[in-house]
C-alpha cells in the first residue's frame, strides 16, 4: 500500500521531490528547539499550488495525514510529524516566488514558501516597507508566518501577520483550491475565510499564496537603549512614548538583567552598553517619514521628559546604523543564548498592560519562592503586553532533569497567573502540540467546542495536521 501511494506521489511531484531516505528526511523531522523529533513516510516538496492540491487528494484517498511545513522555526512542534512514521511532511520551500508588487495598491502577492527576509528585501528594493520582522526572518516562511499569525518586533505599529494580510490562496482538506487572493482593504461578503485560516497552524487548510500590505519606507529611524529600575516605570515610559510619539513608535522591547546576563555568558561580545547592568533595559525605536532632524529632536525631548519624571536612569542613542543593529542583535540573541544554555521552560504570554506589573511581581515572587535559584529569562515585546517569560534551571543543574521534574507545576503556576490577569497563554507562537493539553481549560468549553466544530466541518477526515491545536 505504501509503495503504491509513494508511486502516486512521485507521479505528481517527480521522483526527486518525494524524499524517503533517512539522510534526506532527517532535516525536516526535528523542530528548531530540538524538543520534538518525528518520523515521516515521506517529505514532499511541491513546486506549485496544483501539485499541493493533487497531493492532498492523494492523501485523502489513502487516508494519510499531512503535516504542512515552512521554515520549521516554530516553537510549539506544529510542523513536526508524530512518531508513527505514517504521516507525510509537506514542505513549501520550493514555492518561493514573489508573484507581483502592486505599487498603486501598496500590496505584494507571493507564494507561501517565500523566506520572510527575502520578502522584506524585495519590498525595500521597490521602495516599500514589509513590516513583519522577527528573529527567525532569515529562515521562516510567509506560509508559516500566516499559519502561526506571527508577531515580532513591529506589532506595536503595524499589527500581527493577520493585520498585514489581505488575501489568501488555500488548498482545502478535500484538495480544492480556494482563490481568495483579492488585495482589498474592505470586503464584507459574509464569513471571513481568510481570518479562519490565519493562525490555524496547518489544521484547516494549506496556505499556498498570499496578498499582503506594504507601507512606505520610513526615511529615518532612531534606536535607543534605556535603563529603567522597575516595571512600573517601564510601563510609564511606554505610555509616555505612546502619547508623545504616537504612530512614530515602532518598537518597544524589554530585557531583564537576568536575560542579558545569559546573553553575555554565551555571546560575550553582546555587552550591554548601558552602565551598571540595570534591572530593565528597554530597546525603543522611532520611525519617521518627515526628517531625520524631526525624529531625533522628538526622541531627545521624550527622553528628557522621562528622565525628569523619574521613569529612567540612563540612555544610549545609536549614532549610526551599525550601532542600532547591534542593539537589535542584543535583543534577538536572547533566544539563541537560551538555546545554547540548554532546554528551558518557555512561556509566550500576554496580559493587558494594566495588569503587567502585578503579573511580573507576583509570578516572580512565587517562582523564586518555590524554585530557588532558577533564572527567570523574562524579555519580550512589552509594547504589546507580550512577555517571553522563560524559566531556566539553576546554574549547574541538569536542564533535562529539571524540566522533567518541574515542567508541569511551573506551567501551571505561570498559566494560573496569566488567567488571574485576564491574559493569553499563547501571545504569538501558537499552540501546536506543545499547548494542546490544557487549551480547553484556557479557552473555555464553548470556545473550544466551536474550534472542534470548525475543524470537523473543514477537515472531517482529520488529515490536516491532526492532534495539533485541537484533537477531534
Ligand atoms: P513552521 O515552523 O514550519 O510551521 C509553523 C506552523 O505553521 C506549523 O503548525 C505548520 O504546520 C504550519 N504551517 C507552515 N506552513 C504552512 C502553510 N503554508 N500552510 C498551512 N500551515 C502551515 N514567532 C513570533 O511570532 N514572534 C517572534 O518574535 C519570533 N521570534 C523567533 C525567533 C527565533 C530565533 C526563532 C527560531 C523563532 C521565532 N519565532 C517567533 C517563532 C517562528 O519563527 C514563527 O512561529 C514563524 O511564524 C514560523 O514560521 P515557519 O515558516 O518556520 O513555520
Ligand atoms: C522573540 O521575540 O525573540 C521570540 O519570540 C522569543 C522566544 O525565544 O521565546
Ligand atoms: Zn517574540
Counting beta carbons within 10 angstroms of the beta carbon of residue 438, is it exposed (0 to 12), middle (13 to 18) or buried (19 or more)? Answer: middle
Q: Are 248 and 284 in contact (CB under 8 A)?
A: no
What local confidence, expressed as pLDDT, does residue 245 receive? 98
Distance 273 CA to ligand 3 centre (A): 22
Q: Are 194 and 180 in contact (CB under 8 A)?
A: yes
Instruction: Take residue 461 and report the three cell numbers written for it.
Output: 477526515
Distance 27 CA to ligand 1 centre (A): 16
Mean pLDDT, residues 234-259 taken together: 98
For residue 229, give every residue at least 6 positions away whose Cβ sits within 8 Å of its Cβ, in sequence order, or none: 278, 279, 280, 313
Residue with CA at minimum distance from ligand 1 atom 38: 136
Counting beta carbons within 10 angstroms of the beta carbon of residue 186, is it exposed (0 to 12), middle (13 to 18) or buried (19 or more)? Answer: exposed
Phi first, then psi, for residue 310 (nearest 5°) are 75, 20
Q: Is the CB of 380 under 6 A from ligand 1?
A: no
Distance 388 CA to ligand 3 centre (A): 7
The residue behind cell 529611524 is 221
Atom of ligand 1 nearest to the CA of 202: 21
pLDDT tens, position by position, 371-418:
999 999 999 999 999 999 999 999 999 998 999 999 999 999 999 999
Task: Grade residue 300 by pLDDT with cuts at 50, 70 and 90.
Answer: very high
Residue with CA at minimum distance from ligand 1 atom 13: 144
CA distances from 377 to 171, 326, 360, 364 (A): 39, 20, 12, 11
Residue 143 CA to residue 128 CA, distance in Å, equals 20
Q: Is the CB of 143 under 6 A from ligand 1?
A: yes
Atom of ligand 1 nearest to the CA of 150: 25
Least confident among 2-6, 91-95, 207-211: 2-6
Q: Does residue 216 carry a pLDDT above 70?
A: yes
Q: Does residue 51 carry a pLDDT above 70?
A: yes
Q: Is the CB of 19 under 6 A from ligand 1?
A: no
> Which CATH code fits 98-216?
3.30.465.10
3-state secondary structure of 16: helix
Q: Are 42 and 5 in contact (CB under 8 A)?
A: no
Find the helix or strand (DSSP H, E) in which 391 lies. strand 386-392
Find the helix or strand (DSSP H, E) in which 336 lies. helix 321-341
Probe ligand 1: pick from 31, 79, 113, 133, max atoms within 8 Å of CB? 79
Q: Does residue 244 carry a pLDDT above 60?
A: yes
Identify any residues that bridge with 42 across adjacent strands, giving them in sequence order.
Answer: 88
Probe ligand 1: pick from 74, 93, 204, max atoms within 8 Å of CB? 74
What local confidence, expressed as pLDDT, does residue 54 receive? 98
For ligand 2, residues with CB inside 6 Å are: 135, 332, 335, 346, 348, 380, 388
- The topology under which CATH files domain 2-91 is 3.30.43
Counting beta carbons within 10 angstroms of the beta carbon of residue 277, is it exposed (0 to 12), middle (13 to 18) or buried (19 or more)? Answer: middle
Residue 192 CA to residue 185 CA, distance in Å, equals 13
Q: Are 141 and 93 in contact (CB under 8 A)?
A: yes
pLDDT tens, position by position, 303-324:
999 999 999 999 999 999 999 9
Atom of ligand 1 nearest to the CA of 336: 34
Q: How many CB atoms lie within 10 A of CB 98?
A: 16
Looking at the CA of 133, name the nearest ligand. 1
Looking at the CA of 259, name the nearest ligand. 2
For residue 391, give every residue at least 6 positions away whose Cβ sits within 8 Å of its Cβ, in sequence order, or none: 344, 345, 347, 367, 371, 374, 375, 376, 377, 410, 414
Residue 204 CA to residue 199 CA, distance in Å, equals 10
Same fold, 220-340 and 342-420: yes
3-state secondary structure of 289: coil
Least confident among 35-39, 210-214, 340-344: 340-344
> Which of 308, 371, 374, 313 lies closest to 341, judged by CA?
374
pLDDT tens, position by position, 145-202:
999 999 999 999 999 999 999 999 999 999 999 999 999 999 999 999 999 999 999 9
- The topology under which CATH files domain 220-340 is Alpha-Beta Plaits (3.30.70)
Q: Is the CB of 429 under 6 A from ligand 1?
A: yes
3-state secondary structure of 8: helix
Distance 72 CA to ligand 1 centre (A): 6
Q: Does residue 1 carry a pLDDT above 70?
A: no
Distance 180 CA to ligand 2 centre (A): 31
Q: Which long-range contacts (CB under 8 A, 24 or more apart) does 270-273 make?
A: 270/329, 270/330, 270/333, 272/225, 272/330, 273/225, 273/316, 273/327
The residue behind cell 519562592 is 369
Distance 388 CA to ligand 1 centre (A): 16
Q: How many CB atoms lie within 10 A of CB 341?
A: 17
Counting beta carbons within 10 angstroms of the beta carbon of residue 310, is it exposed (0 to 12), middle (13 to 18) or buried (19 or more)? Answer: exposed
Distance 138 CA to ligand 2 centre (A): 14
Q: Are 111 and 209 in contact (CB under 8 A)?
A: yes
> Which of 76, 59, 126, 70 lies closest to 98, judged by CA?
126
Which residue ranges make up each domain of the chain? 2-91, 98-216, 220-340, 342-420, 435-457+465-472
For residue 140, give every residue at least 6 positions away whose Cβ sits within 8 Å of its Cβ, in sequence order, or none: 70, 71, 73, 115, 116, 134, 150
Q: Which residue has the higher pLDDT, 130 or 290?
A: 130
What local confidence, expressed as pLDDT, does residue 438 receive? 86
On the CB side of 120, CA atoms within 13 Å amount to 14
Residue with CA at minimum distance from ligand 2 atom 8: 335
Q: What percent of the chain has pLDDT over 90?
A: 98
Task: Grade residue 343 by pLDDT with cuts at 50, 70 and 90.
Answer: confident
Mean pLDDT (the chain) is 97
- The topology under which CATH files domain 342-420 is Alpha-Beta Plaits (3.30.70)
Q: What is the DSSP string of 184-238?
A: -S---SSS-HHHHHTTSTTSSEEEEEEEEE-EEPPSEEEEEEEEESSHHHHHHHH
pLDDT tens, position by position, 63-119:
999 999 999 999 999 999 999 999 999 999 999 999 999 999 999 999 999 999 999
Residue 295 CA to residue 285 CA, distance in Å, equals 10
C-alpha 46 chain-centroid distance: 24
Residue 186 CA to residue 106 CA, distance in Å, equals 14
* Angle, helices 231-245/292-308, rounded to nearest 10 degrees: 140
Task: Grade residue 2 by pLDDT with cuts at 50, 70 and 90.
Answer: confident
Amino acid at each position: 500500500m505504501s509503495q503504491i501511494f509513494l508511486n502516486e506521489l512521485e507521479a505528481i511531484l517527480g521522483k526527486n521531490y518525494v524524499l524517503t531516505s533517512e539522510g534526506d528526511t532527517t532535516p525536516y523531522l526535528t523542530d528548531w528547539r530540538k524538543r520534538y523529533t518525528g518520523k515521516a513516510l515521506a517529505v514532499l516538496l511541491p513546486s506549485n499550488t496544483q501539485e499541493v492540491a493533487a497531493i492532498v487528494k492523494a492523501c485523502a484517498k489513502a487516508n494519510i495525514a499531512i503535516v504542512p511545513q515552512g521554515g520549521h522555526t516554530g516553537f510549539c512542534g506544529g510542523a513536526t510529524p508524530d512518531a508513527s512514521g505514517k504521516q507525510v511532511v509537506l514542505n513549501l520551500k520550493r514555492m518561493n516566488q514573489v508573484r507581483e508588487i502592486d505599487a498603486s495598491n501598496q500590496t505584494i502577492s507571493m507564494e507561501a514558501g517565500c523566506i520572510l527576509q527575502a520578502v522584506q528585501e524585495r519590498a525595500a528594493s521597490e521602495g516599500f516597507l514589509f513590516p513583519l520582522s522577527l528573529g527567525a526572518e532569515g529562515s521562516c516562511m510567509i506560509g508559516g508566518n500566516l499559519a502561526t499569525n506571527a508577531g515580532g518586533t513591529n506589532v506595536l505599529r503595524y499589527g500581527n501577520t493577520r493585520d498585514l494580510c489581505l488575501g489568501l490562496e488555500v488548498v482545502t482538506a478535500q484538495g480544492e483550491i480556494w482563490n481568495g487572493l483579492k488585495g482589498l482593504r474592505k470586503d464584507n461578503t459574509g464569513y471571513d475565510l481568510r481570518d479562519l485560516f490565519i493562525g490555524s497552524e496547518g489544521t484547516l487548510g494549506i496556505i499556498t499564496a498570499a496578498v499582503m500590505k506594504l507601507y512606505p519606507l520610513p526615511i529615518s529611524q532612531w534606536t535607543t537603549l534605556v535603563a529603567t529600575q522597575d516595571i512600573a516605570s517601564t510601563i510609564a515610559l511606554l505610555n509616555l512614548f505612546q502619547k508623545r510619539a504616537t504612530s512614530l513608535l515602532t518598537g518597544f522591547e524589554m530585557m531583564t538583567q537576568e536575560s542579558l546576563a545569559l546573553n553575555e555568558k554565551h555571546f560575550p561580545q553582546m555587552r550591554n552598553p548601558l552602565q551598571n547592568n540595570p534591572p530593565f533595559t528597554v530597546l525603543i525605536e522611532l520611525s519617521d517619514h518627515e526628517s531625520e532632524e524631526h525624529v531625533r529632536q522628538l526622541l531627545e525631548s521624550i527622553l528628557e521628559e522621562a528622565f525628569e519624571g523619574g521613569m529612567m536612569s540612563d540612555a544610549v542613542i545609536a549614532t549610526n546604523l551599525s550601532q542600532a543593529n547591534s542593539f537589535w542583535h542584543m535583543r534577538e540573541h536572547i533566544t539563541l543564548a537560551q538555546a545554547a544554555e540548554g532546554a528551558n521552560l518557555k512561556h509566550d504570554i500576554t496580559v493587558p498592560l494594566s495588569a503587567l506589573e502585578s503579573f511580573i511581581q507576583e509570578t516572580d515572587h512565587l517562582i523564586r519562592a518555590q524554585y530557588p535559584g532558577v533564572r527567570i529569562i523574562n524579555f519580550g515585546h512589552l509594547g504589546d503586553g507580550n512577555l517571553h517569560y522563560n524559566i531556566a534551571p539553576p546554574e549547574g543543574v541538569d536542564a533535562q532533569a529539571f524540566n522533567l521534574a518541574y515542567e508541569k507545576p511551573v506551567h501551571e503556576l505561570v498559566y494560573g497567573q496569566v488567567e488571574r490577569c485576564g491574559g493569553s497563554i499563547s501571545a504569538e507562537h501558537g499552540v501546536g502540540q506543545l499547548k494542546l493539553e490544557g487549551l480547553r481549560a484556557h479557552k473555555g468549553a464553548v470556545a473550544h467546542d466551536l474550534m472542534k466544530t470548525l475543524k470537523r466541518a473543514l477537515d472531517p477526515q482529520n488529515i490536516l495536521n491532526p492532534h495539533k491545536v485541537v484533537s477531534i
